[in-house]
Structure 1
Amino acid sequence: MRKWLLGLVVSMMAILVLAACSDAEGETTESKGDSGDAGGSTEEYEATTIRLAYNLPQDHHISVGIEQFAEDIKEKSGGKVDMQVYPAGQLLSDKDMNQSILTGGVEMGVNSSTLWASTVPAMGIFDVPYIFNDYSAVGKAVNGEFGDKLRGAMEEKGAKVLLFADYGYVQFANNKRQLKSPEDFKGLKIRSIGDLPSELIQAYGASPVFMGGGEVYMALQRDTVDGATSGTTAMLQRKYDEVTKYLTINNYAYLEFLLAVNKDFWDGLPEKTQALIEETAKETEEWIREQAEKEDSESAKALEENGMDVYVVPEEDLPEWVEAAAPVREAYLKTAGDLGQELLDIIDNE
């Protein structure tokens, strides 16, 4: 009898042990399944190759932000979204960039709002002189109705704007004399970066000469042009201090660069990939905007330390510069039409 009871107890204990093991295995299996869902999330990205070109020097703050943007997407997607970056004009010049994006010759590219104005005239708003009087005003504008209108106009042409990259304020450098008033421009040949900057140069009495950023150093060195308009960050990186003597700081325009993607290519991407790119682009835009003011200040100081004669237009003298630039606003409205007027109204009313 005792043997029978002992056998029954042993059997019941064995059953309990097996049940416990079964539960533990179930929990382990379930736990592994959960871990697989989280750790394997990158496997849900489809393998995609995206070529991204830009023309700025690689140490420019926009370039640094764009390079990090590409690295972050690669990392977050576990390498499934392969961002192939072509920096500093290796693949395309700034003059060829937009057409290549629109035709799908390259999937993504970074180019100035000034050059995009030839495709979307309203984008020339950033070249209308003296409409943005501080750094924060630009960020507020591009993240609101103002920016939405520009993004919509770009998509109608076949390019989706992923981010607005703050380049900073644009200034004048030249070899002949310090520019203390618009009168001092007369007779000079100034490198321009687009249609509206050319209008401004003409309004001030100089002759505009359009050329890509990579051509300017040689043109200044050979006296093909007497001066150029650009941001101080690019002036420093392109070594303007070696070939020009005078720098005039009047903050006449706030230049934006756009990271844009071919719209058809974008529409063909999986939603998960689109979400990853948009999220990373937003983070990158914020970082670049934080750098712009700091870079403007530090690069202007560095140019002065390198020997350039720097003149900052006093605030009380700016009305003279603004008045002389009035024809540029009129020229903008002629090309940008109703949308251009809407954008100016938004800025004027803020």
Structure 2
Amino acid sequence: MIRHVKTLLAATAMLGFALAETAAAADLIISSGLGKPHLWVGAHMDPFADAIEKGSGGKVKFTRFYAGELSAVGRELDSLNGGVIGVAAPLLAPYHEGRFPLSDVSQLPTYGTTSPMVTRAYQKLLDSDVKLKDGKTFYQYEIGGKGIRVWALGATAPYSISTVKKVLKEPQDFNGTPLRAGSALHTIMLGKLGATPVTIPGPQAFEAASRGTIEGLVIAISDWPSYSLQQVLRHSIVDVSIGHWESYLAISDAAWAQLTDEQKQLFDKTAREIALKNAEQWESRVGTVREDSIKKYGGSFVSINTLPAAMKGHIETAAANTWTAWIEKTEAAGHPAKAAARLYAELIQAEGGKLPAGVAEYLAK
């Protein structure tokens, strides 16, 4: 009898150990709506997944899907909540119309900002305990109740104004010029410039520019190779950031629950580290793409500081008015845009970035 009891206890212990091992292991589906050439995939999603698999000793494993194979751009949140995927890398918030009303804040025009600066500022925005509305922080307002947990990606390089044939020299040159806008905030900026905004996803931009449907784009120069745009874009106005595109690395609450406390700590630490490494790559690639464009295609890059005074002033005024227009439009929809913009402005200025003239005074009112 004693021998049978010992055997039963041993078997029970082994079963408990096996169950603990099973609980400690997680097989997650990670998905991107973007292709491998994009820096948010080859230089973020894959390095992140590799680091987690290695750091967890193989206990956390990923099945990877690319280029919308499983979840398309703008469908990431539904796919996470529906259990189709466990991790979205990235979740592109601006393509989820109305569902992340404050997340465009990093696209507000600034001066002297870099990808690492914006990445640090945005992660601090997510971590901030400053209450924006109804006792909610930025994270609680934007992410709470959506069934996910998020971290900042490496922010894109600053967005510039680039054209195919038309050289933008004077304010009137913008009038009626069809330029691609990647988000609602870019649409505001282009409208303030007098251009005609055309909202299309990045993967459609090459064909649209080649056919003359659009004359140019508002896009990060380091993102050109993702869509082969260096083959068509020839003229760029730089040194005024039409904001930086930020979005999220996101995991569903259901997938998060599969992880042990130690694995959750690894996930958090790795997400933050990979984002900053990714930001460095976004920034360093700007020079490479510019040099390639100049040598192979005769591309030109003109600083806003060398433009005629009227043109420089026109762009600077449009940049400042974009802050006001986005805030007032978003506030009218019931969201605390001014509080969010004020907090982001403080964080980006602490990183060394500058605001358009008059914006600080407007935010202080």
Corresponding residue of 1:227: 216
* 1:309 is the counterpart of 2:287: no
1:297/1:55 CA distance change after superposition, 3 Å: farther
| Aligned equivalent of 2:91, options 104, 111, 114 | 111
Whether the 8 Å contact between 1:45 and 1:77 is mirrored in structure 2 is no
**Residue 62 of structure 1: which of 40, 46, 54 is its match?**
40
TM-superposed CA distance for 1:120, in Å, is 1.6
Query: What is aligned with 2:353?
Result: none
Q: Distance in 1 between matches of 2:261 and 2:196?
A: 49
Alpha-carbon deviation of 1:67?
A: 0.3
Residue aligned with 1:95, SS: coil
Alignment counterpart, residue 70 of structure 2, candidates 85, 91, 99: 91
Q: 1:254 aligns with which of 227, 244, 268?
A: 244
Question: 2: distance between equivalents of 1:348 and 1:278?
Answer: 25
* CA shift in 2, pair 1:163/1:327, >3 Å: closer
CA distance in 1, matches of 2:250, 2:58: 21
Q: CA separation in 2, counterparts of 1:275 and 1:345? A: 31
User: Are the counterparts in 2 of residues 166 and 292 from structure 1 also a CA contact under 8 Å?
Assistant: yes
Q: Which runs of 4+ in 1 moved over 6 A?
A: none
AA paired with 1:184? D
- SS of corresponding position for 2:34: coil
> Per-residue displacement from partner, 1:142-175 (whole Å, max 9, x unpaired)?
2435653443333314131133322111122222
Going from structure 1 to structure 2, the CA distance change for 1:101 and 1:184 (only over 3 Å counts) comes to: farther
Cα distance between partner residues in 2 of 1:324 and 1:207: 14
3-state DSSP of counterpart to 1:166: coil
Q: Give distance in 2, aligned partners of 1:344 and 1:143.
A: 14
State the shift of 1:94 in Å. Answer: 1.8
User: Which structure 2 residue ranges, 5 or more long, are not aligned?
Assistant: 1-19, 129-136, 350-365
Describe the shift of the 1:306–1:130 C-alpha distance in structure 2 as closer, same or farther (beyond 3 A): same
Higher strand share: 1
Deviation at 1:308, TM superposition (A): 4.4
Cα shift at 1:305: 2.2
Q: Tell me by how many angstroms 1:90 deviates.
A: 2.9
Residue 343, structure 1, aligned to residue 340, structure 2:
yes
Q: Which amino acid aligns with 1:76?
A: G
- Do the aligned partners of residues 345 and 146 (structure 1) sit closer, same or farther apart at CA in structure 2, a change above 3 Å counting? farther
1:52 aligns with 2:46: no
Cα distance between partner residues in 2 of 1:278 and 1:76? 12
- Structure 2 CA distance for aligned equivalents of residues 298 and 142 of structure 1: 25
What's the counterpart of residue 359 of structure 2?
none
Which of 277, 284, 289 is the aligned partner of 1:287? 277
SS in 1 for 2:233: coil
Match of 2:360 in 1: none
Q: Following the alignment from structure 1 to structure 2, what is the Cα–Cα distance between the partners of residues 296 and 86?
A: 27
TM-score (norm 1): 0.78
Contact 1:182 1:324 in 2 (8 A): no
The alignment partner of 1:312 has SS state of strand
Q: Which runs of 5+ in 1 are unaligned?
A: 1-41
Which residue identity does 1:321 align to in structure 2?
I
1:299 matched to which residue of 2? 289
> Matched residues, percent identical?
19
Stretch of structure 1 that moved more, 118-127 or 312-321: 312-321
Distance change in 2, residues 1:164/1:199 (3 Å): same
8 Å CA contact 1:132, 1:253 repeated in 2 = no
Question: Aligned equivalents of 1:99 and 1:285: distance in 2?
Answer: 24
- State whether residues 76 and 92 of structure 2, in contact with CA within 8 Å, keep that contact through their aligned partners in structure 1: no
Is the contact between residue 191 and residue 209 of structure 1 (CA under 8 Å) also seen in structure 2?
yes
Name the SS for the 1:282 alignment partner. helix
Alignment match of 1:173 (pick from 159, 162, 169):
162
Report the Cα offset of residue 259 of structure 1.
0.8
Deviations along 1:180-220, one digit per CA (max 9) or x if unpaired, are: 35432222222221111111112111222222222221222
Helix, strand or coil for the counterpart of 1:89?
coil
Q: How many matched pairs?
A: 310
